[in-house]
A = this chain, B = another copy of it.
Amino acid sequence: MGEIIQFDSEAPAAPEEDATLDQLQALVAEDLREVNRVILEYMNSDVALIPTLAGHIIASGGKRLRPILTLAVARMCGYSGTRHISLAACVEFIHTATLLHDDVVDESDLRRGAATANAVWGNKPSVLVGDFLFSRAFQLSVADGSLKVLAILANTSAVLAEGEVMQLLTSNDTETSEAAYLDVITAKTATLFAAACQLGGVVAERPANEEEGLRNYGINLGVAYQLVDDALDYSAREKVLGKSIGDDFREGKITLPVVLSFRRGGEEERKFWRRTMEEGEQGQEDFERAVMLIERHGAIRDTLERARHYGAVARDALAIFPVCDEKKCLLDVIDFCIRRAH
């Protein structure tokens, strides 16, 4: 067998960030250990570079937010079996495969405060190990044996890939509308949140209306999460964000703070955005100027306001579920996703 990578799933993140996630992590701690065991088992390969590279990104302090959602939802739905374990691992593999390909596409050097796999090993292994992890997700979902689960994951993967291509197409396009931006983040981020939550309900064999509620919780939580992420890229301290600030600006990735600022600004400002984000001509002080313009137009404030809106919708999507510890924590996750901006 290939090399075994050990990692500690409970590596503490910045305390001000994970205040509300801690409780949920504690609630599903036992299941989460099992998920990590499955992840370790399935990321293994006789080709030693695969577990080495996969372990690097999987162990690099990710919050395991998506698998935790699957675990917590399954428990909230009264599920007492073990299928949610491998499906949570499956969701994490799809997420990790996407991250590997994302970092290649974005040419990122830093993720969660550590060097990206492509920065360490180059683009080629990142592309191929991403493919391997995606195949492992496919194998895990086949092992689960439910065609319903398989259909959810296959459709999610296709929408996710479409979202990534859409994002590439809106890159460097300052004319991108808020609606187009929303389509992108719904496809590339929120769809996997939705699947993670829905799967928890599917294994518990909950009725269609509850499954729909879980999907809607996931979609709206995912959109809120990405909105805050995109706001942080112009406003966070690097320590909190765990990745380089200003990445989106440097890559010409058009996110809501820019969409709003571009549209609210005058011709002079639009020229600035076109030069820096469309033509990619960026000087020393341009990021500071971008932050200043975004601040002037209240674009961070309003991006977070939009996030709160989706958070509120996510909250109501869970209203049909009876009160329990898991539900309370799932509601806290919404606050966590939004509050990490502060």
Contact = CB atoms under 8 A, between A and B. Distances in A.
Interface of A: 45-47, 49-50, 101, 104-105, 123-125, 127-132, 134-136, 138-139, 141-142, 145, 147, 150-151, 153-155, 157-158, 160-162, 164-166, 168-169
Nearest to A101: B127
A125 B50 CA distance: 24
B154 A135 contact: yes
Given A154-B135, A158-B139, A49 B124 contact: no
A151 B143 CA distance: 8
A197 B46 CA distance: 26
Contact of A168 (B104, B125, B155): B125
A162 B105 contact: no
B158 A142 contact: no
A139 B162 contact: no
Contact of A101 (B131, B155, B166): B131
Contacts of A157: 131, 134-135, 138
Q: 4 closest pairs, A vs B, by CB?
A: A132-B161, A135-B157, A135-B158, A138-B154
A151 B132 CA distance: 15
B135 A166 contact: no
Contacts of A45: 162, 165
* Chain A residues touching B, majority SS: helix
B168 A128 contact: yes
Nearest to A147: B145
Contacts of A139: 151, 154-155, 158
A159 B218 CA distance: 33
B147 A124 contact: no
B147 A160 contact: no
Nearest to A53: B165
Most buried by B among A46, A47, A49, A138: A138
B134 A142 contact: no
A128 B188 CA distance: 12
A88 to B, nearest CB: 18
A154 B168 contact: no
A41 to B, nearest CB: 13
A154 B142 contact: yes
A294 B105 CA distance: 38
B101 A165 contact: no
Given A101-B127, A101-B128, A105-B124, 10 more contacts: A46-B162, A101-B131, A104-B124, A128-B164, A129-B161, A129-B165, A134-B157, A135-B154, A142-B154, A150-B150
Contact of A165 (B50, B136, B164): B50
B165 A128 contact: yes
Contacts of A127: 101, 104-105, 127
Given A161-B128, A162-B46, A142 B150 contact: yes
A201 B155 CA distance: 27
Contacts of A154: 135, 138-139, 141-142
A156 to B, nearest CB: 8
Contact of A161 (B124, B135, B158, B168): B135
A191 to B, nearest CB: 12
Contacts of A166: 47
A125 B151 CA distance: 25
